[in-house]
Structure 1
Amino acid sequence: MATLLHLNGPSGVGKSTLARAHAANRPGTLVCDIDDLRSWVSGWEDDFVGTGAAVRTSALALITAYLATGRDVVLPQLIVTPSECARFEAAAADAGAAYVGVVLDVAPGDLLERLHGRTVTPVSAVVSRIIEERGGDELVLRGRRELLDLAPQQGWTVVDTTDRAAALARLAGLVG
C-alpha cells in the first residue's frame, strides 16, 4: 500500500532535508515540497501565504494522483491547522493509501541554530523575512510547542531529529 508521509515541524527542523534523504532511500518516492511549488508562481514572494493556500490545492491533486499509482509521497510541510491536515489525510484515503503524520522535533537551542544557519535560497529568504516580521525566534519556538501539544491529539508521531541517521531509521520504520 502506498503511503503519504507528512513531515510536519517548525521552520529549520529539517523537514525538507529529511524528506529528500528518506526518498533517496526509497526509489520512486515523490517529494512534494509545497514551498518549492509555491516558488513556481509569479509574485509568490509578495504573497507567500496566499500562494501557499492556492498551491496546496494543486499539491493535493498531485499527491492523490501519484499515490494512486501505488507509489509513496513524502510531504515536508508545516501545517498547524487540523482541518488543513485532514485534507491531506483525505487525499491519501481517496487514493487508497495510508497517511502517516509525523512532527519532527529537536531541542529549542538546536532548532534556532539550524534555522539561522541554513543555506539561503529564495524560499528560505522569504520564510526568514516572514518569521522576523511575525515575531522571530519566539514565533518559531511557540509554533514548536503548539505542534508538540497537537501531536497526541492528532495521532502524530514525534521524531527527534538530533541524530539524522536515527531519525531516518525511525521514519523508515513508520512507513514499513
Structure 2
Amino acid sequence: MPTLLHLNGPSGVGKSTLARAYAARHPGTLVCDIDELRSWVSGWEDDFVGTGEAVRASALALLTAYLGTGRDVVLPQLIVTPAQAERFEAAAAAAGASYVAVVLDVAPDELLSRLHGRPRTAVNDVVARIIEERGGDDLVLEGRQQLLDLATERGWDVVDTTERHGALATLSDLVTVCR
C-alpha cells in the first residue's frame, strides 16, 4: 500500500530537508514540496498565500495520481488547520494509500537558529519577509505550539529533528507500521 507521509512543522524545523533525505533513502518516492511548486507561478512573491492555495489544489491532484501508481509521496507542508489536513488525508484515501502525518519539532532556541540560518533562496526570502511582517520569532514560536496542540488533537506523532539520522529512522518506522 502506498503512503502519503506528511511532514508538518514550523518554518525552519527541517521539513524540506528531511523530505529530500527520506526520499533519497526510499527510491521512487515523490517529494511534493508545495513551496517549490508555488515558486513556479508568476507573481507568487506578491501573492504567496493566494498562490499557495491554488498550488495546493494542484498538488493534491498530483500526489493523488502519483499515489495511485502504487508509489509513496512525502509532503513537507506546514498545515495549521484540521480542515486543510483533512484534504490531504482524503487525497490519500482516494488513492488507496495510507496517510501518515507527523509534526516535526525541535527546541525553540534551535528552531529559531535554524530559521535564521537557512540558505538564501527565493522561497526562503519571501517566507522570512512574511514571518517578519506578521510577528517575527514570536509568530514562529506561537505556530510551533499550535502545531504541537494539533498533533495531540489529531493523534499525530511528534518527531524530534534535533538529530537528522534519528528523525529519518523514526519516520521510516512510522511508515512501516502503517503499511
Cα distance per residue 1:40-78 (max 9 Å; x no partner)? 000000000000000000000000000000000000000
CA distance in 2, matches of 1:118, 1:42: 24
**How do 1:1-176 and structure 2 match up within 5 A?**
1-176=1-176
Q: Quote the RMSD (CA, aligned, Å).
A: 0.4
Counterpart amino acid of residue 151 in structure 1: A
Counterpart amino acid of residue 88 in structure 2: F
Question: How much does 1:26 deviate?
Answer: 0.2
Moved over 3 A (4+): none
TM value normalised by structure 1: 1.00
Question: How much does 1:150 deviate?
Answer: 1.1
Question: How much does 1:5 deviate?
Answer: 0.2
- 3-state SS, counterpart of residue 11 of structure 2: coil
1:101/1:155 contact within 8 Å kept: no
Cα distance per residue 1:67-122 (max 9 Å; x no partner)? 00000000000000100100000000000000000000000000000000010100
Structure 2: any 5+ residue segments left out of the alignment? none
Counterpart amino acid of residue 7 in structure 1: L
